C-alpha cells in the first residue's frame, strides 16, 4: 500500500493482491469514525447500505435511499485523507436501467467525493458494471449472499453450498471481472468456494463470512467494536466491548448528575 499521506487507489489494491498483502476494509457512516479508521491505516472505508440496519434501525437494507447514502458518504469523505472511499449503491438505483444506473452512480460520485461505487449481483449486473466502468466510474462487485436480495434468497443464508451453487458464484465473479470491476466482495460462502474465486480472479476478493483465503476482509465497524449487540453472526469477531462500556459510562454520568457530583469545581468556570 502507499506510504502514509498518499491516497490509496484501485491500482494499489491490484498490486496488493499480486504481492500477497492482505487488504483491510471497514464500514463507516460519519466523519468521526471515518477519521479514526483512516488514521489507523484501513485501506478501504466502505459506506455500506448497512447504515439502514445499523443506524436507522430497519430490518433490511432495502429501504435505504440514494439521498441517505450520499448524506453519509459526504460525512465519511470529510474524515478521510488516505483510504479509498466506496459508496454502496442502494436497491433500485442501478437495477431498473443502465441509463438510470449511470445517472445515479455519477451523481453519487459527484456529490460525495467517493472514489468508487459498489453494486450487488453477478451476471445480472454485468452489462451495468461495464457501462459504469466505460464512463470512468470504478466499481466494486459483490457476490454470494447479497443483502438486497435477502427475501429472494430466503434470509441471511450461506450461499454456494454444493458444486453447482459454487460454480455459479465463480461464474458470477468472473463475469464481474470481465466487466471491469476492481475488486469483489464475497459474502457468506464456504471457505473453499471463496478460495476458488480468489484463485480464479486477477482482481482482489474481499471476504465477509467467507473464510481466510480471500485477498482482504471487511466487517461492519459497529459489529467489530461490540456496539451492535442486536446482530450476532458466526463470522463476526468483536475486538472491543463498547456497548457495555457506553452503558457503564452513561450510568456513571447519570449517577453523578443526580447526586450533584457533576459538574464539580474542576469542570466549572470562575468569574
pLDDT in tens, 116-156: 999 999 999 999 999 999 999 999 999 999 999 999 999 99
Respond yes or no: is residue 15 known to be catalytic.
no
- Residue 43: asked if its preceding bond is cis (omega within 30°), the reply is no
5 dihedral zone (left: phi>0; alpha: psi -120 to 50; beta): left
- In this prediction the pTM is 0.96
Which of 187, 229, 244, 256 does the annotation list as catalytic?
Answer: 187
pLDDT tens digits, one per residue of 186-218: 999 999 999 999 999 999 999 999 999 999 999
The CATH code that applies to domain 10-240 is 3.20.20.60
Q: Does residue 224 contact residue 237 with C-beta atoms inside 8 Å?
A: yes
Question: Cell numbers at residue 66, please?
Answer: 440514494
Place of cell 460462502: 189
Q: By the 8 A CB rule, do 61 and 147 touch?
A: yes
Where residue 101 falls among pLDDT bands split at 50, 70, 90?
Answer: very high
Query: Rounded mean pLDDT of 225-238?
Result: 93
Residues of the chain with CATH 3.20.20.60: 10-240
Average pLDDT over residues 147-171: 96
Amino acid at each position: 500500500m502507499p506510504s502514509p499521506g498518499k491516497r490509496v487507489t484501485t491500482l494499489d489494491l491490484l498490486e496488493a493482491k499480486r504481492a500477497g498483502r492482505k487488504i483491510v476494509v471497514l464500514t463507516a457512516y460519519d466523519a468521526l469514525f471515518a477519521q479514526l479508521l483512516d488514521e489507523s491505516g484501513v485501506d478501504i472505508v466502505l459506506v455500506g447500505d448497512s447504515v439502514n440496519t445499523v443506524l436507522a434501525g430497519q430490518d433490511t437494507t432495502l429501504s435505504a435511499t440514494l439521498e441517505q447514502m450520499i448524506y453519509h458518504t459526504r460525512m465519511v469523505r470529510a474524515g478521510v485523507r488516505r483510504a479509498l472511499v466506496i459508496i454502496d449503491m442502494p436497491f433500485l438505483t442501478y437495477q431498473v436501467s443502465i441509463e438510470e444506473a449511470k445517472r445515479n452512480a455519477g451523481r453519487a460520485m459527484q456529490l460525495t467525493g467517493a472514489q468508487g461505487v459498489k453494486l450487488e449481483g453477478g451476471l445480472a449486473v454485468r452489462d451495468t458494471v461495464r457501462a459504469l466502468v466505460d464512463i470512468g466510474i470504478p466499481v466494486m462487485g459483490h457476490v454470494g449472499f447479497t443483502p438486497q436480495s435477502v427475501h429472494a434468497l430466503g434470509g441471511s443464508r450461506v450461499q454456494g453450498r454444493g458444486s453447482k451453487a459454487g460454480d455459479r458464484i465463480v461464474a458470477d465473479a468472473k463475469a464481474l471481472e470481465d466487466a471491469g470491476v476492481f475488486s469483489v466482495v464475497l459474502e457468506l460462502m464456504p471457505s473453499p468456494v471463496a478460495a476458488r474465486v480468489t484463485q480464479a480472479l486477477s482482481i482482489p476478493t474481499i471476504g465477509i463470512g467467507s473464510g481466510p483465503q480471500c485477498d482482504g476482509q471487511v466487517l461492519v465497524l459497529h459489529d467489530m467494536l461490540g456496539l451492535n449487540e442486536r446482530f450476532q453472526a458466526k463470522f463476526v469477531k468483536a475486538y472491543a466491548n463498547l456497548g457495555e462500556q457506553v452503558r457503564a459510562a452513561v450510568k456513571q454520568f447519570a449517577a453523578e448528575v443526580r447526586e450533584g457530583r457533576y459538574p464539580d469545581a474542576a469542570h466549572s468556570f470562575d468569574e
